[in-house]
A = this chain, B = another copy of it.
């Protein structure tokens, strides 16, 4: 089996605030056609500040800012230090203007490369009754 894949950086987060801005590179911009018909987006981005051997070798973490969290495996956490520095966030779409996508509640830092955007579809993606350990109930939601 191949051991690696190559991800293209399709654009980046150019502003990270109450409202965030994603700027898609002109060559991929057409991929946002009719995106505004969705209210929420799945944004996959690159934790560019964690793309190094130390962070990418991390297999256990104590989730930060979650009081009382035990040590868990990285796959049981949303830690940015993980074998593949891929960030995942559901963001609320505000508007699309040309190659610029404006969203709310994106947790990516300014400068983060964006590697995919997908529409959020509740019947596939919303599981309100999902069970989680208690430490996830407090602190940052992501």
Contact = CB atoms under 8 A, between A and B. Distances in A.
Interface residues of A, number: 71
A75 B38 CA distance: 11
Nearest to A141: B124
Given A78-B119, A125-B125, A130-B40, A2 B113 contact: yes
Contacts of A32: 73, 75-76
Interface of A is mostly: mixed
A37 interface: yes
Contact of A5 (B7, B41, B88): B7
A51 interface: yes
A4 B134 CA distance: 37
A84 interface: yes
B88 A60 contact: no
